[in-house]
Amino acid sequence: MKLGAFSISLSVKDLQKSRDFYEKLGFTTMAGTTESNYLIMKNGSTLIGLFQAMFDGNMLTFNPGWDENAQNLESFEDVREIQKRLKESGVEIGKEADETTSGPEHIYLKDPDGNMILIDQHR
């Protein structure tokens, strides 16, 4: 199963303070704006998303169809196919994708310790 680009999504209290902190660690902004309450930051091939007032808690994020530079992959496994395979394996899906659609869609699930996982397809 190919889940796509990986990042950690952090729920932050103050986006500007978090941005300043991660810039000191060598991260630069590659997407998002403070006005939209989120920034995607990159250091080498490492990605973090900083999200203010958008969700509770931190989560692992995968983006089918993208590489770590948010560039489209020629071929990828659609989130609906990933969902189907996870369900066949007995994994409980918290928010399911509409399997009658195509294009952008996402699912949520939790690991056995309650850690949130987002599989978010943008195309």
Q: What is the pLDDT of residue 115?
A: 94
Q: How far apart are CA 16 and CA 54, in angstroms?
A: 15
Q: What is the pLDDT of residue 42?
A: 96
Q: What is the pLDDT of residue 80?
A: 97
Q: Which 8-state DSSP code applies to residue 101?
A: -
**Mean pLDDT per 10-residue run, the chain (123 residues)?**
94 97 97 95 96 94 92 95 97 96 96 94 93
Q: What is the pLDDT of residue 53?
A: 94
Distances (CA, A) of 120 to 14, 18, 20, 27: 24, 23, 26, 22
Tokens of 51: 């999200």
Encoded amino acid at 72, one letter: N
32: left (phi over 0), alpha (psi -120 to 50) or beta: left
Q: Is 69 exposed, middle or buried (0-12, 13-18, 19+ CB in 10 A)?
A: exposed
Q: What is the pLDDT of residue 12?
A: 97
Q: What is the pLDDT of residue 17?
A: 97
Compute and round to an integer the Cα radius of gyration of the chain: 15
Whole-prediction pTM: 0.88
All structural domains of the chain with their residue ranges: 5-121
The fold of 5-121 is: 2,3-Dihydroxybiphenyl 1,2-Dioxygenase; domain 1 (3.10.180)
